[in-house]
Every structure is written in C-alpha cells, then in structure tokens.
Structure 1
C-alpha cells in the first residue's frame, strides 16, 4: 500500500515511538507512574512531561505556555468556550468543524469569506461585538496558507482575541501571530490522542473540563507521559528536520504537478503548504476511483467529514459547484513518502481516471 493521506494523519516517527516505550513500561517496570503522584515514580514521570513540554514549546512563539490536551479538538474547544461568553466569534468559512461547530455552539458565529484562491483576507468587516477571531494557518483540505499575522493585528484593533488552528502547520513551518494556538501530535509524526493549546502570557481562560485542576488549572485529568514524550520527540525532530522536510516536500509537489497534467488545482498554488495537493477532474467518479485503486490511500475530502455524502464545505467556500467538489481528490505526502512511491501512486490514479472516460 502507498500512503498519501498525510493531512488525515502521519506515520509515527521511530524516534517518537522509542520515546514513548520508556514511559509505557520502562526499566524494570518503573516507567508507568502517574505524573501527578508525589513519590519517586511520579516525579520521574512528571520530569518526562516537563522535558517534553519544553520541546513542544520550542516550536511556538516565545512568551506563552503549553497546555497539554487530548488533541486539537479539545484544545480548540478550551480556547473558544474558555475565552468567554457573549459577543460574536468570527471564523473563516474554511475552518475545521472543530472550530466552526464549536463557535456556533458557544454563541453567535460570524463567518468570514474566503477568495477563490482559498485565502481569508482582512478586507472584510467583523461584528462590533466580536470577542474572538479564529483563522487557521494552513487549511486541512486544500493546504492554503492564511494571513494569520494580518488577522492577529485586526483582532487587536477590534479588542478581540485571536485563535489559530495550526494543526497542519506546526512542525512544518514557523507558527506566529496569535493569542492561542491549537496543535495535534499525530499530524507531524507524533502519536494520536495528545495535542496542545499554546496560550500567550496574559490571556486567561475558564476551565472547561473540571476535576483535579491539572495543567495550570485549565485541563483536569491525568496526563499520559508516554503520549507526551512521543509528542516531544516528534516536535524536537520536526525542529531539527524542518528545512530538509520542506525541500523533500517541494520536490514531491513539483513531480506530482507534472504528472497530473490537465487536472485542475483547488486553491492557490503559491500561498500553500506543498504537501497538500487537492485536484479535480471534470466527470471524475471519486468513489469508483477509490474502489479501482485500493492500494493507494488518498482522500476525497477531510477524513473528519468522509462518509457524510455532502460536498466539502471548503471546496464550496472557494466557489466550486457540488459537481466540481465531488470530482476532487486530496493527496497528502511528506517526510516518509519516497519519489518512487509518489510516481507509482500517481500513475495508478491517472490510469484509473482515464479508464472512466473510455
């Protein structure tokens, strides 16, 4: 099988796996301690958590703190629900449902338009009562990079907080310009089940998950040293390899673009993370393509919405018709994708697509 669905999840880095094993069992069975216990095993586990916290924090801007969560969805819920009540929450039209649906549930949601290129620019008004603006850094479906620094400035001008979903950006590029940033470990070769909310110094939230008061009193619950150690190892590796990974992804992008000649690109080709290739071909039956090419793992949209039967809200937001949206595929590749794998997979997909028109 050839895996081309890096936006859904990424392969676990061997370094992250090795870091986790120490805290699943450890030497002589001493690595499983509760990091909130005061005895020696607990202190050892707590030290592992704090060491990983420093590695994760190194990829965030200075002047903030890292709150560990069960994933980015929880982090986004904490940010949106914990930042207050009343007022409006402005979100881009291409936000992940973890932002869009939570904003709607938390109060008055206001939707910001995006261009046909898939960017949400600041040349639009926000409500007078806006309390929070949320614009993701890299879109999960079409890979477009958003002007988050501009939006952070606009949020300050309107006395609002600014939240960034950096799930698809963290570990791949610099993450800047926000009051709160949500990330998930499994999107950059860490384990599933752990994420973080970065909180700028001076920003205060209300606890949404009550209990033991862990994580600065903002996220109760026993932390997993194993998951967090894996998170930290993946972050350290991403920091070390960022330029190398970016160059590899760039080369894969250009080769794939050459091979898919005649297919239309969804979203900007320039303001884009190059590990995301979202394409469409008129008349393409994506369900049939998936059935015909079962040994290539790719997506017809975001994994979170798969099976719904609805056209992608992201593709609709950039002006595509239902027919065009349903004739689109997403290929995601990265660190562990070889050029040979990409070429083989692309050849299979292109051949199968041609067969549909015979």
Structure 2
C-alpha cells in the first residue's frame, strides 16, 4: 500500500460516505431543490423527503419521528441539549458530567460554570468508566438542584462504554434530564433511547457514513428544552433555519443502512479488532491496551507503544492513517486528558495510538497494519 493512499484506521474521526448515501442525496441537490417550508409542489416534495429521513433516524434509535431534530452535527446537538436545558430549567443550577467528555460537551459545561452554575465533573476508574456510585452521591448531594446529567455513551479515544442506563435510572428518581452524546456509538452497537432511559441523545452523520455537517438530537416528548438560536419555527422552533434537506436525506439513509448491518457487522468488526490487537501485542513487546477490561466499541483500540511517542510511530508509518489523543503546542506535547484521567502516567500516555476500524476494513489490511506499525515502532525505539 503506497503512502499516497494509506490504510485508513481512523473511522472514529470520520467515515467515508456510503455510495448509497451519496446516491440518495443527489436528487435533492439537483431537481428537488424546494424549501420544505414552501406550500407549492417543490416545497412539498422537500418536506416529504425530510420527514421520511426523520423516520429513518428515529427507527435506528427506537424514537418517535417527532422526537428527532436535525442539526448541523454533534457540536450543535450537544450545545442545544446542554444550553437548551439550562434555558428551560433555570430554577435548577447544577449539572453532572464527566472528566472524559468531548469538547462539544465539556466547553458548554465550562460556559455554564462561568455563568454561576455548579458543575460536578465525575472521575473515571482505571478502565475509563464513570462509577455509578459517584453519580449517585453527586445527585444526592445536590439536593434536587440538578437540571441535567450529560454523559457520553462511549469514549471517542478508548471506545469504553459508559454506564448511561444505570445513571439515567438514578437521575430519573431526582427528576433530572439525561443527555448522552452517542456520536461514536450509533451504528456500531445497538443504541435504544428507551433502554438507555435518556431524554436527549446526540448522533452524528459523519461517524456513520453520512456526510460531515449533519446530525440529530433526540428530544424525548415533554423534556424541558429552550432554543439557543432564534429564527423561524423549523424543527419545533428549537433549531430554526431552513433545513439542509439533501444532508438530512443522506443521514436517514445512513441510519437505515446501519440498522440493517448492525448485528452481523458488529461481530465481524469485533473479530477484526481482536486480530489487530493480538497481532500487535505479539509483535510489540510491552504494548498495552487502554480500557482492556471494560466493554468497548467493537471497532476501537487505544494501544500504548512502550518507550516512544505515539505520534512518532505514526510519523514513521505513513502506510497507516490513525490518530493519537495527545496535543502538540509550542512547549512540546501533552498526553491525552482522557488517558491521564484513567491514572495512566504521562510518559505512558504519550505512547498512545487510536486505531479505529470500519465496515470495509479487511483481514488483509489488518495483517498489513500489524507489520508496518510494528516496524515503525522498532524504527523509533531504536
């Protein structure tokens, strides 16, 4: 495999758009260009396509179609869930989240903290999981002041699944709304809003083979939520602005395809992930796996190469496109906050590389990845 077209193992960052998704969108980029709010034939056609897409998104997560709002992606959906709850429940000024959240959750919580809200940042254990008992204690201590629990369904770096259902059950006893960012989970594992017991759920198009720039927020009927942008009455007035019909159509088809492929695809991907892990473990003495004993997404490995920086391994392995969780700045490089929150020392965490597979990843590609990554580590380690 040439450096010009490396093996793609970064599906948690973004996925290729499925050809069926592209084909579904094209008519709404060409002839069916109407505004879905218009009353004439062009508008009615666009409106019908939008509602059909809403039904397909809802079906994947076990929701009602009228509980699905289209957004520009996960960041907007998370902001609407968090800031919109704050607008609607100003009588309660405490929220609960975790230290391993994506910036699209963490930063809105930071902003509320600056505005005088009290935020409890739940820690994680050595496997990267929030402890249910910590959530219980925080909710009890808040004394009925909590408006929202926002907890990711699975971590984007480690793939570790969080105890959302158990914490949602606790929150419900306190009358607290629950939001989960399921951007990484939807399409990889079964995600059902009733089983989880959540009131708000974020899903993202480009994580499940739809285009970038489209997502959705599930809002359970009756959940208090205020708008954070003002305009027309689209999307129940909670997300005003003319809807992006072609991209919503694409998201709907992507969700439909994900639902069809979920069971068989999950098992196949899990087998490939384990083959990649065992191959690397055998080829790289001292390699460790983040969240090894926790339930994880079937496509995700966060491995830590001993004695080197993960970025250096990837730089020495142009045949593989993957990522690290570390951040570079003028003073050098700092390790992933997620791994540090798990108690992993800075030096070890700097060796991390995230490898995330997709439905098109093959056994041959996994075997090739083992060879070139092991070679890259040996080259860097000297």
| Length-normalised TM-score, structure 2 | 0.89
Q: Secondary structure at the match of 1:260?
A: helix
Aligned equivalent of 2:355, options 316, 319, 331: 331
Shift in CA distance, 246/93, structure 1 to aligned 2, threshold 3 Å: same
Q: For residues 155-178 of structure 1, give each alpha carbon's deviation from its aligned partner in whole angstroms, at most 9, with x where no partner exists.
A: 112221111010011122222320
Q: Match of 1:74?
A: 76
Separation in structure 2 between the aligned mates of residue 255 and residue 174 of structure 1, nearest angstrom: 23
Superposed CA RMSD in Å reads 1.5
Aligned equivalent of 1:95, options 78, 98, 101: 101
Q: Match of 2:290?
A: 266
Aligned equivalent of 1:7, options 3, 8, 12: 12
Q: For residues 49-78 of structure 1, give each alpha carbon's deviation from its aligned partner in whole angstroms, at most 9, with x where no partner exists.
A: 100000000012345600100001101100
Q: Match of 2:316?
A: 292
Q: Number of aligned pairs?
A: 351
Q: Match of 2:211?
A: 191
Aligned equivalent of 1:218, options 238, 251, 262: 238
User: Could you tell me whether the CA contact under 8 Å between 2:314 and 2:376 is conserved in 1?
Assistant: no
Shift in CA distance, 157/81, structure 1 to aligned 2, threshold 3 Å: same
Separation in structure 2 between the aligned mates of residue 121 and residue 286 of structure 1, nearest angstrom: 29
Q: Residue 134 of structure 1: CA displacement?
A: 1.1
Q: Match of 1:245?
A: 265
Q: Match of 2:132?
A: 122
Q: Structure 1: where are the runs of 5+ without partners?
A: none
Q: Match of 2:3?
A: none
- Stretch deviating more after TM superposition (157-166 or 57-66): 57-66
Q: Which runs of 4+ in 1 moved over 4 A?
A: 305-308
User: Could you tell me whether the CA contact under 8 Å between 1:245 and 1:334 is conserved in 2?
Assistant: no
Q: Match of 2:23?
A: 18
Q: Residue 139 of structure 1: CA displacement?
A: 0.7
Q: For residues 6-30 of structure 1, give each alpha carbon's deviation from its aligned partner in whole angstroms, at most 9, with x where no partner exists.
A: 11011111111111111110xxxx2
User: Could you tell me whether the CA contact under 8 Å between 1:71 and 1:184 is conserved in 2?
Assistant: yes
Q: Match of 1:45?
A: 46
Q: Structure 2: where are the runs of 5+ without partners?
A: 1-5
User: Could you tell me whether the CA contact under 8 Å between 2:98 and 2:121 is conserved in 1?
Assistant: yes
User: Could you tell me whether the CA contact under 8 Å between 2:269 and 2:298 is conserved in 1?
Assistant: yes
User: Could you tell me whether the CA contact under 8 Å between 1:248 and 1:334 is conserved in 2?
Assistant: no
Separation in structure 2 between the aligned mates of residue 121 and residue 287 of structure 1, nearest angstrom: 31
Q: For residues 246-268 of structure 1, give each alpha carbon's deviation from its aligned partner in whole angstroms, at most 9, with x where no partner exists.
A: 02211111111111114100013
Q: Does 1:132 align with 2:132?
A: no
- Stretch deviating more after TM superposition (288-297 or 186-195): 288-297
Shift in CA distance, 37/310, structure 1 to aligned 2, threshold 3 Å: farther
Separation in structure 1 between the aligned mates of residue 351 and residue 315 of structure 2, nearest angstrom: 15
Aligned equivalent of 1:165, options 177, 181, 192: 181
Shift in CA distance, 306/186, structure 1 to aligned 2, threshold 3 Å: farther
Q: For residues 126-178 of structure 1, give each alpha carbon's deviation from its aligned partner in whole angstroms, at most 9, with x where no partner exists.
A: 13322111111111010001111101111112221111010011122222320
Separation in structure 2 between the aligned mates of residue 61 and residue 108 of structure 1, nearest angstrom: 32
Separation in structure 1 between the aligned mates of residue 310 and residue 274 of structure 2, nearest angstrom: 23
Aligned equivalent of 2:198, options 163, 167, 178: 178
